Amino acid sequence: MFAVMQGASRGDDVYEEDDSVQSLEAHVANLTGHEAGLFCASGTMTNQLAFRASLLTPPASILCDTRSHVFRYEAGGLASHSSATVYPVEAIATQGHHLTVQDLEREFISDDEDVHMAPTRLISLENTLSGTVMPLQEIQNIRRFAKERNVRLHLDGARVWNAAVAEGCRLKDITSEFDTVSLCVSKGIGAPIGSVLVGDKGLIKKARHFRKMFGGGWRQAGGLAAAAHWCIENVWPTMKETHTLAKHLAEGLEREGRGAKVYIPVETNMVFLDLAGSGIRLSELSRRLEAEKGIKIGNSNAPETQTQVRLVLHWQISKQAVDDFVEVVKDMASTTTTPAMETLGQDRNKAAYGSR
């Protein structure tokens, strides 16, 4: 990756003069079935630029999953940048797995409804959400729902690379259903930094202008773009193996953890573990993993009440590392006689549900 960065172009991206950046933007746009792309510093930036460039005239509201990143973890950007109200939607029809048309119909506000309400102008979906995949069929259903109501559809696709692999489909099968898509190149893909926004040429032109207004214009970004391009070509193809390894980890933890539970389905590369029923303390597990196996998961200073942890696997995690992890959990579970943490695991670290 460093060698690729060293050989990258060094033009000025603010003036659209960098070959490596333009190559990445064109490549991602082609992969996603869109006209143009814009390389930015973060997924938060590409999400917010998509909303702002959509030019939603107030009063306007946006529907999204109540757990979504754009609602919970982007510092109120929707209200600040786009003057839009957010109506978070519960995924009731699928018991918390993913939003459906049925869920959106419940919260949708049309132009001719109560004057006290802000009409729905845009629907924002997230795929994957906490590592779970929104089925392509449901995305297509929601697309039809949005088109019938003349409402724009955005995808926070920070990990849509993983979703396409898990679905066994082309990336554009998912992303072409949306007006705008934000794709992270650091999460999962493993690039040093960045996210790409894709959409039609007119919207990307507006987004480029807003990026500069928000202070996001970067000059010699070619090295970063070249690294991202390399990762798409070389890391993305390894995701199927990583997903398989994540399931192997989840099965091992539940089998050997004596009460440890994986509380969100493992569909891609994320394992959400709850140690409450096992009696294992998260802080102690963290310390032993690092001391005995050289595995660092953080949380060494976790409070005793914290029993849940999100484990995210990537292409450089080996099967041996997973087996070592399970071995430490097995050893700790075998020496724990009382599940002291059993009553403390309820509703702890709920932020994990909203993580991408």
Structural Rg of the chain based on CA atoms: 21
Question: Same structural domain for residues 204 and 323?
Answer: no
Q: 129 pairs with which residues across the strands?
A: 132
Question: Same structural domain for residues 204 and 267?
Answer: no
Q: How far apart are CA 126 and CA 145, in angstroms?
A: 17
| Residues above pLDDT 90, as percent of the chain | 92
pLDDT-based confidence at residue 351 (cuts at 50, 70, 90): very low
Question: Same structural domain for residues 119 and 68?
Answer: yes
Question: Same structural domain for residues 82 and 111?
Answer: yes
Q: How far apart are CA 143 and CA 163, in angstroms?
A: 17
Last residue of a domain, one of 181, 199, 234: 234
Q: How far apart are CA 104 and CA 92, in angstroms?
A: 10
Question: Same structural domain for residues 180 and 254?
Answer: no
Nearest to 239 by CA among 348, 163, 343, 296: 163
CATH number, domain containing residue 106: 3.40.640.10
How high is the pLDDT of residue 339?
52
Residue-wise pLDDT tens digits, 159-173:
999 999 999 999 999
Question: Same structural domain for residues 56 and 203?
Answer: yes
pLDDT-based confidence at residue 112 (cuts at 50, 70, 90): confident
Q: How many residues does this entry show for the chain?
A: 356
Q: Which residue has the tokens 């510093």?
A: 41
CATH number, domain containing residue 302: 3.90.1150.10
Does residue 63 carry a pLDDT above 50? yes
Residue-wise pLDDT tens digits, 17-38:
999 999 999 999 999 999 999 9
Question: Same structural domain for residues 83 and 176?
Answer: yes
DSSP 3-state assignment of 89?
Answer: strand
Question: Same structural domain for residues 18 and 107?
Answer: yes
Question: Same structural domain for residues 291 and 336?
Answer: yes
Last residue of a domain, one of 234, 268, 295: 234
Question: Same structural domain for residues 217 and 288?
Answer: no
Q: Who contacts 152 (Cβ-Cβ below 8 Å, separation ≥6)?
A: 54, 121, 122, 123, 146, 179, 180
The residue range of the domain holding 46 is 2-234
Q: How many domains in the chain? A: 2
